[in-house]
Amino acid sequence: MEEESGSLPSKSDFSAWYNDVLWRAEIMDVRYPVKGLYVWYPFGFGLRRQTYAILRDLLDNSDHEETLFPLLIPKTEFMKEAEHIKGFEDEVYWVTHGGLSELDIPLALRPTSETSIYPMFALWVRSHADLPLKVYQIVNTFRYETKHTRPLIRLREITSFKEAHTAHATWDDAAAQVEIALSLYTRFYDDLCIPITISRRPDWDKFPGADYTMAVDALMPDGRTLQVGTVHHLGDHFSKTFEITYEDAEGQQQYVHQTCYGISERCIAATIGVHGDDKGLVLPPKVAPVQVVVIPIIMKKRADEVLAAAEVLKAELQDSGLRVKIDTRDMRPGAKYYHWEMHGVPLRVEVGPRDLDAGTVVAVTRDGEKTTVQRDEVVTAVPEILGAYAARLRTNAEEFLTSHITEAGSVEEAAEAVKTGIAVVHWCGDEACAEELEKATNGSVLGTEVRSEHITISEGPCAVCGRQGTSTVIARTY
């Protein structure tokens, strides 16, 4: 639907590259006439479908059940949990009118669904036999963002919020579920070939109404981190507010302990940001809406023969379970390559007259690895090529991450490191010292209890006050 004119900015100018690649690769159209609301192009929606199918499978296969709760939350319910309101009151959209009349009770557009779901949990949970209860939904949620909005990253309508909500008999059971959620998210981002850093957010940065918040961060090309998932231990804050109790084995009423965890379309922003290059998107095979494009190389002679062979090849690859397109448009091959590279298609398979004679095809991955494959081995060779390609994406992303992590021994070193990436620094845990660190680095203290294959955690003197501390990570954030 878009004409491809001009050229993509270099990825080194990440902000310009990102904005441009979104329309050139037909992910999002930003021209919708309300700030912070965007339109998914069909190709972008295809990427969303594949990405969320992985998330659904992970949840379905770990005893979560998909449900759907209403978008509109009556003000009376929304206002019940004090910390929660405080966290959201500046950013909730309110419906005040139905037709031409004013509503008796204003309705909030869910910014997140605790206050929509938990009144029902109070009805659903009766006895310990009902626990654990694990549900999820994939929904649109809303935030009245006053900051600069950005497609897939900072939105007024988060179109694709996957939120899971669980209830357990004990605090420890809920804590164990936090670990399960983190391991699911780790597997999810591994499928996206994105290395992540997990940490426990400082108390002042936890979810409003949580005991603690674990967060998942990805490193974007400009050295800023993007929070791409959160897992909250809610303790019994909400169960006390919404009276979610169960009868234990001794016949006593007990409050449940809860968790919730979410991932939004930021996971797609991370996929785009982490892997893309100066030619456009670079998509991991598991989420690419088109995994293989077959390009017939049409010369004057033998055009029909080549075209027929390309169609057979396409059908064979498709039957093997791959998502395949054939590009038979009347264009130069170079223009086709450009188009499919922009869209991040992992593998291009070319078939020309010479290939017919040789009984081969030429396979070129999005990162430029060229292989001549025997025609009768294509169906087994392609998945291997795609697997090796995915491994390279993962390695490249890990190399980028490790080369942008700096162990900083002082506030000054941390400030220098945060200019281009993540600083690892010792911190005593004190809020005043964190403020000092944040001011000096222009970054945020992401948290403690850091889990990353690429970061070694240690004890040492706080970079600010010198008292004993442990490693924390600091970065500029989205």
Beta bridge partners of 451: 198
What is the Cα–Cα distance from 381 to 396, expressed in whole angstroms? 23
List binders of its own copies among 30-59 (CB under 8 A).
31-34, 37-42, 45-46, 48-49
What tokens does 68 get?
Answer: 């759907």
List binders of its own copies among 92-111 (CB under 8 A).
92-100, 106-107, 109
What is the Cα–Cα distance from 191 to 270, expressed in whole angstroms? 13
Confirm or reject binding of residue 159 to its own copies (CB under 8 A). Answer: yes
What is the Cα–Cα distance from 422 to 93, expressed in whole angstroms? 35
Confirm or reject binding of residue 67 to its own copies (CB under 8 A). Answer: yes
Strands (E), 236-280: 245-247, 253-255, 257-263
- Quick check: 217 and 199 in contact, CB under 8 A? yes
Confirm or reject binding of residue 144 to its own copies (CB under 8 A). Answer: yes
State in angstroms the smallest separation of the CB of 157 from its own copies. 5
State in angstroms the smallest separation of the CB of 1 from its own copies. 5
What is the Cα–Cα distance from 204 to 212, expressed in whole angstroms? 10
Give the residue, chosen from 14, 69, 171, 338, that forms a contact with its own copies under the rule CB under 8 A.
Answer: 69
SS3 category, 318: helix
Q: How many residues bind its own copies (CB under 8 A)?
A: 59
CA angle 268, 182, 460 (to 5 degrees): 105
Confirm or reject binding of residue 403 to its own copies (CB under 8 A). Answer: no
State in angstroms the smallest separation of the CB of 396 from its own copies. 30
Q: Candidates 65-73, 219-227, 332-340, 456-464 — which segment interacts with its own copies by CB under 8 A?
A: 65-73
Residue with tokens 């070939």: 193
DSSP per-residue letters across 329-394: -SS-HHHHHHHHHHEE-SEEEEE-HHHHHHTEEEEEETT--EEEEEGGGHHHHHHHHHHHHHHHHH
Confirm or reject binding of residue 339 to its own copies (CB under 8 A). Answer: no
SS3 category, 186: helix
Confirm or reject binding of residue 249 to its own copies (CB under 8 A). Answer: no
Give the residue, chosen from 1, 250, 253, 301, that forms a contact with its own copies under the rule CB under 8 A.
Answer: 1
Element (H, E) at 166: strand 157-168
Nearest to 307 by CA among 344, 264, 353, 273: 353
Confirm or reject binding of residue 239 to its own copies (CB under 8 A). Answer: no
Nearest to 168 by CA among 134, 135, 137: 134
Of 75 and 279, nearer to its own copies (C-beta) is 75
List binders of its own copies among 371-400 (CB under 8 A).
none
Q: Candidates 13-21, 121-129, 256-264, 385-393 — which segment interacts with its own copies by CB under 8 A?
A: 121-129
State in angstroms the smallest separation of the CB of 475 from its own copies. 28
Confirm or reject binding of residue 315 to its own copies (CB under 8 A). Answer: no
Confirm or reject binding of residue 70 to its own copies (CB under 8 A). Answer: yes
Confirm or reject binding of residue 242 to its own copies (CB under 8 A). Answer: no
DSSP per-residue letters across 287-319: T-S-SEEEEE---STTHHHHHHHHHHHHHHHHH
Of 49 and 240, nearer to its own copies (C-beta) is 49
In the complex, which residues of this chain contact its own copies (CB under 8 A)? Answer: 1, 3, 29, 31-34, 37-42, 45-46, 48-49, 65-72, 74, 76-77, 89-100, 106-107, 109, 116, 119-120, 123-124, 126, 130, 133, 135, 140, 142, 144, 146, 156-157, 159
